[in-house]
Amino acid sequence: TKALACELAPHGIRVNAIAPGHTATPGNYDLRNNSERRADVDSILERTPSGRAFSEPKDMARAALFLASEDSRAMYGSILTVDEGYTAGM
């Protein structure tokens, strides 16, 4: 994102990215709802300060809307992490 941001910024184009964390999707339904996988979910929760193991797709959509809006007009070459605080290593 940084190289593209530098290249495209003079043309008024902002380049940023979203780094999603664990997100509730149909693809991980079994992980989220299978009691045999509870230990896996608990290990995520141990490192997630928000108390939620999985973000919702709407959380990613809201991050994308922010990056597409003028509210992020000063952001170039950034990676916006949306992971319930998981990578904070709490």
Q: Note whether 26 and 57 are within 8 A (CB).
A: no
Task: Give the pLDDT score at 90.
Answer: 61
- How many Å apart are CA 62 and CA 45, to the nearest integer? 22
Task: Give the pLDDT score at 40.
Answer: 94
Task: Give the pLDDT score at 57.
Answer: 98
Number of domains in the chain: 1
For every residue of 25-82, DSSP letters joined together read: -GGGHHHHH-GGGHHHHHHHHHT-TTS-SSB-HHHHHHHHHHHHSGGGTT--S-EEEE
What is the domain range of residue 76? 2-88
> Count of CB atoms within 10 A of residue 55's CB?
21
Task: Give the pLDDT score at 89.
Answer: 75
Query: Which residue ranges of the chain lie beneath pLDDT 70?
Result: 90
pTM: 0.88
> Count of CB atoms within 10 A of residue 1's CB?
13
Task: Give the pLDDT score at 75.
Answer: 97
Task: Give the pLDDT score at 73.
Answer: 97
Specify the CATH number for the domain of residue 60: 3.40.50.720
